[in-house]
Structure 1
Amino acid sequence: MILFRKIRSWISSLAIACILSLIIGVFVIQPYRVDGHSMDPTLHDRQRLLVSKLSHTFSYYPDYGDIVIIDSRVDRKRGFVDDVLENPLIQLLTNKDDRAFYVKRVIGKPGDVLEIKAGNVYRNGEPLDEPYIKEAMNNYTVGRWEVPANHIFVMGDNRNHSEDSRAIGFIPLNHVIGKKVL
């Protein structure tokens, strides 16, 4: 009988720890690993980060220049189930490796007009000071975008080797998974 109580106590403690881990991972903070070189030189392949999910939980916009984790599948709706399934504990249990999540920098918010001319990015007619980029963009890269409501525009710091809003389009606010904190 005493052994049964001890086992039950251990199981209940583990269950509480798992539930707290899920809640924290879904709503507050989550570890993330960089996959690729699109954020060089700021972040490197396989570097680990901690991501604050508060902006996602409370649906507020990240600031210009913030490094964010995005769900690049912008053509599909996201829901609470997605947030739960993306939790590291669930991914560990299911052995899921999803490469749809990108690390990028916020360049534009709703209403901004972004242009790329002669290898430089302009926001609302003003050139951006971007000391964090790896190298100047190729001169053949040009474009003009107006960011719609409830969306952001993101780019990698390694502009010549980044799949970002120039290719996948505007990022819906609910596809911004979180903001880099460490």
Structure 2
Amino acid sequence: MNNKLVKEILDWVYAIALALVIAMVIHIFLVQPTRVSGESMEDTLHNGQYLVVTKWQHIMRDIPDYGQIVIIDSRVNRARTWMDDVKEPLMNYVSVFNKDAQTNDIWVKRVIGRSGDTLEFKNGHVWRNGQELQEPYTKDTYMNFSRSTPVVVPEGYVFVMGDNRNHSSDSRFIGPVPIDHVLGFVEYAI
């Protein structure tokens, strides 16, 4: 091989590597596209729908507002590390080509409770701090779930639920979600 061809190949390798690094930084710290998998957020979001998720709130540990749709790491009983933030965007891309690489740990849910809130589940509805929530976004008007004791959301946590209450795994089953497990805020659904 002559030097000109080697230089051309190295220039291409450098450009591709730089583009990948820039893309990773954007996806870890700024914005990440992802897809809905499942029916837990119907009728708001649907299986296969694309989402644009902003990530800086995760980096800043921002507390989402009531009603905000968020992406969470459902493994609430394990500590998250910075390696999780690097690995998850990579696996998101790999899963496009290899369905076996897709994990079921990252969920899309709606924030129902914040630190200090007392939540009750009675009469087919959610009550926050003694007030029944008006939730026009839920799929069913009646939730087939009740609980005899209230849930108090601990400091540094949020309580999340799917809009399809009768077909959603959420904080009712895994418990409140630590703020560092809130991976991003859904900004757009396409």
Tell me if TM exceeds 0.5: yes
Asked if 1:149 is matched to 2:155, the reply is yes
Asked if 1:65 is matched to 2:57, the reply is no
Once residues 55 and 118 of structure 2 are traced to their aligned partners in structure 1, the CA distance between those partners, rounded to angstroms, is: 27
Once residues 89 and 148 of structure 1 are traced to their aligned partners in structure 2, the CA distance between those partners, rounded to angstroms, is: 31
Higher mean C-alpha deviation, range 86-95 or range 54-63: 86-95
Asked if 1:159 is matched to 2:153, the reply is no
Query: Aligned pairs, how many?
Result: 182
The verdict on how the C-alpha distance between 1:147 and 1:90 changes in structure 2, with shifts beyond 3 A counting, is closer
Deviations 1:130-175 (A, max 9, x none): 1100012345523521000110000100001111100110101111
Asked if 1:112 is matched to 2:114, the reply is no
5+ long unaligned stretches in structure 1: none
The verdict on how the C-alpha distance between 1:90 and 1:38 changes in structure 2, with shifts beyond 3 A counting, is closer
Higher mean C-alpha deviation, range 1-10 or range 154-163: 1-10
Q: Is the CA contact (8 Å cut-off) linking 1:84 and 1:90 kept in structure 2?
A: no
The verdict on how the C-alpha distance between 1:101 and 1:139 changes in structure 2, with shifts beyond 3 A counting, is closer
The verdict on how the C-alpha distance between 1:175 and 1:106 changes in structure 2, with shifts beyond 3 A counting, is same
Q: Is the CA contact (8 Å cut-off) linking 1:108 and 1:153 kept in structure 2?
A: yes
Aligned match for 1:178, one of 169, 184, 187 = 184
Q: Which residue of 2 aligns with 1:76?
A: 78
Q: Which residue of 2 aligns with 1:101?
A: 106
Once residues 76 and 89 of structure 1 are traced to their aligned partners in structure 2, the CA distance between those partners, rounded to angstroms, is: 19
Q: Which residue of 1 aligns with 2:134?
A: 129
Tell me, what secondary structure is at the counterpart of 2:76?
coil
Q: Is the CA contact (8 Å cut-off) linking 1:118 and 1:142 kept in structure 2?
A: no
Percentage of pairs with the same residue: 46
Q: Is the CA contact (8 Å cut-off) linking 1:31 and 1:88 kept in structure 2?
A: no
- Counterpart residue type for residue 75 of structure 1: N
Tell me, what secondary structure is at the counterpart of 2:160?
strand
Tell me, what secondary structure is at the counterpart of 1:181?
strand
- Counterpart residue type for residue 169 of structure 1: G
- Counterpart residue type for residue 108 of structure 1: G
Q: Which residue of 1 aligns with 2:5?
A: 3
CA RMSD of aligned residues (A): 1.7
Aligned match for 1:56, one of 55, 58, 62 = 58
Q: Which residue of 1 aligns with 2:37?
A: 35
Deviations 1:10-53 (A, max 9, x none): 11111100000111111111111111101000000111101111
Deviations 1:103-139 (A, max 9, x none): 1000011001111120121111112111100012345
Deviating beyond 4 angstroms after TM superposition, the runs of 4 or more aligned structure 1 residues are: none
Query: What TM-score comes out, normalization by structure 1 length?
Result: 0.94
